[in-house]
Amino acid sequence: MAQRIPRAGLLLAVVLLLLVPALPGKTKPKSTEKQNQDFSKFVEIPGATKVGGDQCAQCHADLDKTYRRSSHALREVDCEQCHGAGSLHLAAGGYSKESKDKIISFKDRTPEEANGACLSCHSKSDHVRNWFLSAHQAQGIRCSDCHTIHGDTHGKGESEFQGEPQGARKAIESRRQVNDKCLRCHQKQMAEADLPYHHPIREAKMTCIDCHDPHGGSAGNGLNASNTNDLCFTCHAEYQGPFTFQHAPVNESCVKCHSAHGSPNQNLLIVSQPALCLQCHSAHHNGASLPLVDRCTNCHNAIHGSDIPSATGGSKFIDK
Ligand code: HEC
Ligand code: HEC
Ligand code: HEC
Ligand code: HEC
Ligand code: HEC
Ligand code: HEC
Ligand code: HEC
Ligand code: HEC
Ligand code: HEC
Ligand code: HEC
């Protein structure tokens, strides 16, 4: 018996040690580890040597042409820094199932491998510091699902470039293009953006990335802020307070009453009035004389918080 106790203790200690990495709060450092891993292996082709971009242009003239206008080319990033050294691909004279290991094709590599090629240069960048915590990473989304490296004229000829200044072609061109990219995969938000009341995304006055970091945020839902209310306050500061009298659900989260993306109800409310309020309060007739009105906020106009006390104590959020 006396021997068993330390053994059980040891077992417990081992079990606890195994559990530690799974505990919440321990997940953060993982991202840094992953960020710090060596990504150079994802742009290596065993046995191949570099031949220079001019060689690639011999056979890929169109791609070479569009690539030259990209911001990568203007930073002197060369074909082989993304696609790997080309000598074996040249020797094979092309690309087939058998020779696919001889050049890095982004479509035939796994997301991890394809993204690894990008991360061989960008892993330390601030832009992607939350990538390894993101839903996009977890779902196998590729950098190239959103970023078009060779320019958007793929297969369309050169006409779209006419009249463009001599500047760089960025991997994502415009606010509208950002929204289009996101909405291609996000059907639910696509539908919400078309509802009568919405943040002006369809109008391209706002983009998804005004609120979300596509590379992953530090908080849930990939938000650009540490929580939902802080996000809303960046543009709607008038509701930040502090108020002497706070309305509890407003402090908790704006999305208790509002939809972030779109709603059939005025003011982006998730439920229209008075049903919205009646989820948490009972209706009243405010003395016998007045009929119950649809909009509780006709009277309770300071619904986001108030400094004005009511006669009966607290505040009834009536600032008139
Ligand atoms: C001798 C001609 C030739 C040269 C030189 C050449 N390629 Fe290719 N490459 C081909 C052919 C043919 C294909 C298959 C058809 C296609 O996809 O265009 C191909 C396919 C590819 C693919 C795969 C495309 C896919 O389907 O995803 C990549 C990537 C590629 N080449 C990159 C390069 C790079 C980088 C260089 C320079 C280091 C280069 N090529 C030089 C002929 C060549
Ligand atoms: C910064 C990384 C990067 C550089 C540099 C780069 N490519 Fe690509 N390339 C890609 C990605 C990513 C794709 C996948 C499609 C896309 O996003 O455009 C691709 C696709 C291709 C394809 C597939 C065919 C197709 O029509 O999509 C070929 C061939 C190719 N690149 C050749 C080249 C050549 C030649 C150069 C140099 C002139 C070059 N690439 C420079 C990243 C790069
Ligand atoms: C050889 C290094 C290298 C590789 C590999 C590389 N990049 Fe870049 N990239 C750069 C440099 C340098 C810049 C310009 C400075 C900066 O913004 O960091 C840049 C800029 C960018 C930009 C901002 C400019 C723009 O065009 O919008 C994006 C987006 C980008 N890279 C995405 C990618 C993606 C996606 C891949 C993989 C397909 C990739 N990069 C692979 C070096 C690289
Ligand atoms: C879900 C879409 C999406 C994915 C996936 C994605 N990005 Fe981005 N990325 C964007 C958007 C949108 C921007 C902002 C573009 C802008 O402002 O020009 C951006 C910006 C960047 C920038 C900075 C551009 C600048 O000019 O400041 C870099 C670098 C970059 N991304 C690299 C990557 C890399 C590397 C990956 C893969 C690990 C990746 N991105 C995956 C959407 C995406
Ligand atoms: C290639 C498809 C694809 C594209 C393009 C894409 N997404 Fe996603 N996104 C997904 C998938 C899959 C998920 C995980 C499932 C889900 O939550 O819908 C996801 C999840 C998300 C989430 C939830 C994040 C979380 O942590 O829960 C946000 C926010 C998001 N995407 C925003 C964007 C934005 C902004 C863009 C455009 C810059 C974009 N997505 C482009 C496929 C995509
Ligand atoms: C005004 C800020 C804002 C804008 C603009 C915005 N979002 Fe969101 N999004 C949010 C907030 C806040 C949440 C969390 C909602 C919650 O907690 O109920 C969210 C949640 C999400 C989610 C995960 C939850 C879900 O509903 O599936 C996805 C995916 C998403 N947004 C995609 C997008 C896309 C795509 C766009 C552009 C069309 C976009 N968002 C524009 C604020 C915004
Ligand atoms: C990047 C800036 C920005 C952020 C962040 C933002 N909004 Fe907005 N919001 C706007 C703009 C712009 C409008 C449209 C104003 C207009 O059309 O006059 C708007 C309108 C609204 C409206 C009024 C809609 C109507 O039908 O009258 C509500 C409610 C709203 N936002 C709530 C929120 C909530 C809740 C959040 C946080 C999840 C949020 N907003 C985050 C910019 C933002
Ligand atoms: C208890 C429910 C509730 C919560 C929580 C809530 N709101 Fe509202 N909000 C409303 C109602 C109801 C209206 C419509 C007011 C009216 O009828 O005049 C409104 C209207 C708005 C409007 C549009 C008003 C205008 O002037 O056009 C904005 C913007 C807004 N809210 C932002 C926010 C923000 C930001 C938060 C989080 C800090 C938040 N709301 C939290 C109920 C709520
Ligand atoms: C998610 C639940 C929730 C919703 C929705 C909600 N409230 Fe409240 N409300 C509360 C809570 C919790 C309090 C604080 C209760 C307390 O202190 O007794 C409160 C307090 C109040 C008070 C002050 C009550 C008092 O006795 O001092 C008024 C008035 C009020 N709410 C009106 C509204 C109106 C009008 C709406 C709709 C626009 C609304 N509330 C929506 C939860 C909610
Ligand atoms: C005609 C104006 C008016 C309308 C409309 C109105 N209220 Fe009131 N409400 C008041 C007044 C005034 C008080 C404060 C009485 C006091 O100070 O004792 C009050 C008090 C309240 C209180 C505090 C608790 C109580 O019963 O005294 C709540 C909760 C409340 N209202 C919710 C609502 C809800 C929910 C609606 C919509 C269904 C609504 N009110 C519609 C005028 C109104």
Q: For residue 142, report the distance from its CA to the centre of ligand 8, in Å.
A: 37
Q: Which residues line ligand 2 (CB under 6 A)?
A: 53, 56, 60, 63-64, 67, 72, 77, 79, 81-83, 106, 144, 148-150
Q: Would residue 168 count as lying in a domain?
A: no
What's the one-letter identity of residue 236? H
Residue 251 backbone dihedrals phi, psi, to 5 degrees: -65, -35
Q: Report the nearest atom of ligand 6 relative to the CA of 135.
A: 29
- For residues 138 and 248, membership in a common domain is answered with no
User: How many angstroms is it from 187 CA to the middle of ligand 8?
Assistant: 26
Which ligand does the CA of 59 lie closest to? Answer: 1
Give the per-residue pLDDT at 117. 97
pLDDT in tens, 18-41: 444 444 444 444 566 788 889 999
Residue 235 lies in a domain: no
Q: Which ligand is nearest to the CA of 253?
A: 8
Q: Measured from the CB, is residue 316 less than 6 Å from ligand 9?
A: yes
Give me the pLDDT at residue 97, please: 87
What residue's CA is closest to ligand 10, atom 11? 286
Q: Which ligand 2 atom sits nearest the alpha carbon of residue 155?
A: 26
Q: Would you say residue 314 lies in a domain?
A: yes
So what's the pLDDT on residue 273?
Answer: 92
129/248 same-domain check: no
Is the minimum distance from the CB of 77 to ligand 3 under 6 angstroms?
A: yes
User: How many folded domains does the chain comprise?
Assistant: 2
Q: Are residues 39 and 145 in the same domain?
A: yes
For residue 180, give both structure tokens. Answer: 């289009």
Res 27: pLDDT: 45
221 Cα to the center of ligand 8, angstroms:
21
pLDDT of residue 71: 82
148 and 41: one domain?
yes
Pocket of ligand 10 (CB under 6 A): 274, 277-278, 281, 283-284, 286, 290, 293, 296, 298-300, 310-312, 316, 318
Last residue of a domain, one of 158, 185, 210: 158
In a domain, 66, yes or no: yes
- Looking up tokens 């005004």 gives 210
The pTM (predicted TM-score) of the whole model is 0.91
Ligand 6 atom 2: residue of nearest CA: 211
Domain boundary among 158, 193, 227: 158
Q: Is 80 exposed, middle or buried (0-12, 13-18, 19+ CB in 10 A)?
A: buried
In a domain, 289, yes or no: yes
Buried residues in 250-283 as b, exposed as e (16+ CB within 10 A): beeebbebbbbbbbebeebbeeebbebbeeeeee
- DSSP letters spanning 227-256: SHHHHHHTT-GGG----SB--HHHHH-GGG
Do 140 and 248 have their domain in common?
Answer: no
- Domain membership of residue 82 (yes or no) is yes
Q: Return the structure tokens found at 44.
A: 């290596």
So what's the pLDDT on residue 21? 42
For each of the chain's 320 residues, which pLDDT tens digit applies? Answer: 344 444 544 444 444 444 444 444 444 445 667 888 899 999 999 999 999 999 999 999 989 988 888 889 888 999 999 999 999 999 998 898 888 899 999 989 999 999 999 999 999 888 888 999 899 999 999 999 998 888 654 333 333 333 333 445 666 667 788 899 999 999 999 999 999 999 999 998 999 999 999 999 888 899 999 999 999 999 999 999 899 999 999 999 999 999 999 999 999 999 999 999 999 998 876 655 555 667 899 999 999 999 999 988 899 999 97
Nearest to 182 by CA among 200, 220, 209: 209
Q: Which domain holds residue 125?
A: 30-158
User: Last residue of some domain: 158, 185, 216?
Assistant: 158
What confidence score (pLDDT) does residue 30 get? 59
Residue 246 lies in a domain: yes
21 domain-assigned: no
